[in-house]
Structure 1
Amino acid sequence: MLTHNYAIDPKSMMFALLGTQTHANLEHGMEEGDLGEQRLDDGVSTGAFDFYSPENGGTLFDYKTYSSYVVGKYLGIKSHKVLVGHYKNGKPRYKTVYTQGNARLDFDLAVQMNDYRMKIEKCLKLPVSHMVCEMIVRDGGTYMATSRGVTERAYLIEVGKISDRWMERYMKKKSESLIKALDSKTVPPPCKSHECWGGNKCEKFCPVNKWCDAYNGGK
């Protein structure tokens, strides 16, 4: 994306525009001591966090707009058939109930929020005791969402801390790989399967995959 001119389909960016507008609206509710949309540079990479509140020892918030399918997956929602009686003909009558397991966030979100956490602690000298993702359900309130057990229009999910040492090594490696690729004008080695969503990110969400040796080499 840094070395090629490319085009995108405006229709594919509708939900991204929705997310941008959501961030802009949330900024109007900031109180004294709150921070939002600040871009920080820790010497390795830059990043702009969504919202920071000094309450509860310092809380970092990130806002994401997801489909009910993704939200249900992250929440660990599963459906079960429960016997509730019998019809007049004697056949059993069931209803579907939903249970929520442990929240399982994706790798990208966990790394992103921990990177922001470390940047705030290093650059702004502020504590971050909690990280919370507010997941806004894109199709919340629809039949499709409720059929998946997603009954709320938004969820607050705590994000766990990743080791600072691991984060530093990971971000530094990514930064060095990018700089080396730009200097040598060669595509860096492909990332791991969980980083590219099993190739789904490359296939559906990368506007420059036609120039990528790793992507086209697997075709």
Structure 2
Amino acid sequence: MALLFVSPAVFSVFLRSCRILICWISVFFFIAPDCLRASPEIIGSLIDPVKLDSLRGDRAANGRMRKIAYWLETDRREGLDPAEVIATAQKSLAYKNPERAAVVKASLLRNLTILQRLGCLEEDGMEKLRRGRAPEITKGPYAGDIVHVDHIIPRAIAPGLDEKLYNLEFMPGSMNSSKGAKIGQRQIALAKEWRALNLISPEEYQKVVSAKGA
């Protein structure tokens, strides 16, 4: 009966307080945990080796690389360790070659660092990455350039590495254009490392070695 005599103003404040309390409960007990669970699942889908190996079309994995960077940076801002997020995502995946998981993890972390240094993780860049689009560089001598996804070992020489995440690297567009299909010491060293881990075919390894300096 006491509620019948509460003034409208007081009752309005009470309702507003209830709404705020409900919102906070939703954030902490429903929304936030779902977000934290969803990120490794999303990343796992993007880095799934079975899906990647079945991709068809030139540079079909490029959009995935950008989206992966978006989710890893989002997690980092939430206080999570990107390395642990990747490890969690990889646990549920069927890697025929366990070494591939380690090489992919190192590649994804390196690429996130590259985007950070190029200033591609600001608001506009993050929105583009979320959609799988190329962000613009905002820091350093390449500011204003668009970030490309480069094949470290060129597709023209090793097409079998076309959709392999460990062979993809973010690079300023103008630098990528001037690089072309050149093979240098880095490509040779990586080809040797990947051959030892069975991550590049013997035939394509020989092509890389033969193309040195071409």
Normalising by structure 2, report the TM-score: 0.28
| Structure with more of its chain in helix, by fraction | 2
| Structure with more of its chain in strand, by fraction | 1
